Amino acid sequence: MKIFIKIIILFCIASVLNIQKTAAEEKIKIGLLVPITGQNSEMGKSIIKSVRLAVNKIDNSAIQIFPKDTASNPATTLRNAKKLFENGIKIIIGPIFNENLIYLDELKDVTFLSLTNKIINNPQNVISAGINADSQLKTIVKFQKLNEINKTIFLIPKENYKEEIEKAIKQSKIKTKEVFYYDSDPTKLTKQIEKITKYHKRKQNLEDEIKRLENSDEINKEKKIKALEKLDTLGKVNFDSIIISDFDESLKSITTSLLYTDISPKKIHFITLNQWFDESLLKEINLQPIYFPSINKENYDKFIKTYHETFNEYPNQLSFLSYDLIGLVYYLALQNELIIDKKMFLKKNMFKGKMGIFEVKDNKINHTLNFYKVEDNKFKKIF
């Protein structure tokens, strides 16, 4: 009997050691599809360096990264994705650009974490990991509630991503009074903004009131007229905030047109999308304060500092996202008992990365973002 018990104990010990050995030998293989050659090669190389930083930070030899070139070409992307799959890789970070996704549905057993923020018409095995419009609008909804903003107008450019914005408006259930579409062409833009803000009517209101006073017997009418002559328009607009789904110079063109039509950010909340702490906004005093949802600035600044100290250069914005995606895949792999497959992204999970919180469910990734405003030459965190 004692001998039998000893045999059982030895068998159990051997089984435990075998499990530990198997776990130790298990590898987390992650593919990386980025442009290493071609006009976007600097972006791709920056992402590779960022991934290296993430792997070093996790410090687990089980993680193996396999980079391949997309050359910013859909056919090359598919060819190299197949090579990664033949090497047993079922999770691939990349590609960057939406146009490189078109053939990837051929690899049904591979999940691609694309760095794009577009979610419409992607292949079913592609998960958009970029900061999509839905995540941004949900953050704006929170700002609306905190500030009792009830009359928001939405300005959307007549560009190829307007469908993304329209879908996000429905999904986020954001309160909007009206939605307007505008041309990016500056010659058309100002006239459109004039119409949206009823500029000519407010201008006429001012002229009419001055004439009325001139023809009246009111006391101190000269003083009142002088005060009115300092104004550009008279009368309130029927909205309390404007969401501008644009960035860079197009954003500045819109805000300039709004200022021209006497719509001031001091009275109306100017809110925008797609900002990665564009420092040129700090110089635009007239459009401040302007608000936007975004990643965590403190962590972003730390990442840039670490990256620069390591490589003596500055990263592109997508490098920060790829850094977090390595951590996300590693975390989900641990939750999935180191089995690397598409099931990792089906179960509801929350992962706190440098960018903020990733919400993973049903093959979708959304981000819980922070909210900032540009004011007094600073980026100020609201929440």
- pLDDT tens string for the chain (383 positions)? 444 444 344 334 433 334 344 444 578 999 999 999 999 999 999 999 999 999 999 999 999 999 999 999 999 999 999 999 999 999 999 999 999 999 999 999 999 999 999 888 899 999 999 999 999 999 999 999 999 999 999 999 988 788 999 999 998 989 899 999 999 888 899 999 999 999 999 999 999 999 999 999 999 999 999 999 999 999 999 999 999 999 888 999 999 999 999 999 999 999 999 788 999 999 999 999 999 999 999 999 999 999 999 999 999 989 999 999 999 999 999 988 888 888 888 888 899 998 889 998 877 899 999 999 999 999 999 99
How far apart CA 372 and CA 275 sit, in angstroms, is 10
pLDDT for 12: 41
pLDDT for 339: 84
SS3 of residue 127 by DSSP:
strand
For the packed helices 186-196 and 248-260, what is the interaxial angle rounded to 10 degrees? 50
Range of the domain at 87: 27-130+297-367
Instruction: Give 361's strand partners.
Output: 364
What is the CATH number for 272?
3.40.50.2300
SS3 of residue 291 by DSSP:
strand
pLDDT for 242: 98
Instruction: Mark whether 301 and 352 lie in a shared domain.
Output: yes
> What is the total count of domains within the chain?
3
Instruction: Mark whether 138 and 118 lie in a shared domain.
Output: no
pLDDT for 290: 97
How far apart CA 364 and CA 109 sit, in angstroms, is 17
Instruction: Mark whether 254 and 184 lie in a shared domain.
Output: yes
pLDDT for 50: 97
SS3 of residue 335 by DSSP:
helix
pLDDT for 25: 58
Burial class (CB in 10 A: 0-12, 13-18, 19+), 190: middle
Backbone angles phi, psi at 374, to 5 degrees: -100, 120
**Does the model's pTM come out above 0.85?**
yes
Instruction: Mark whether 165 and 210 lie in a shared domain.
Output: no
Element containing residue 47 per DSSP (H, E): helix 41-58
Instruction: Mark whether 138 and 247 lie in a shared domain.
Output: yes
pLDDT for 141: 96
Q: Contact 303/355 with Cβ under 8 angstroms?
A: no
Instruction: Mark whether 92 and 187 lie in a shared domain.
Output: no
Q: Return the closest-CA partner of residue 208 out of 193, 189, 228, 185.
A: 228
Instruction: Mark whether 97 and 118 lie in a shared domain.
Output: yes
Task: Evaluate whether residue 377 is within a structural domain.
Answer: no
Instruction: Mark whether 79 and 164 lie in a shared domain.
Output: no
Instruction: Mark whether 31 and 123 lie in a shared domain.
Output: yes
Task: Evaluate whether residue 4 is within a structural domain.
Answer: no
pLDDT for 185: 86
pLDDT for 269: 98
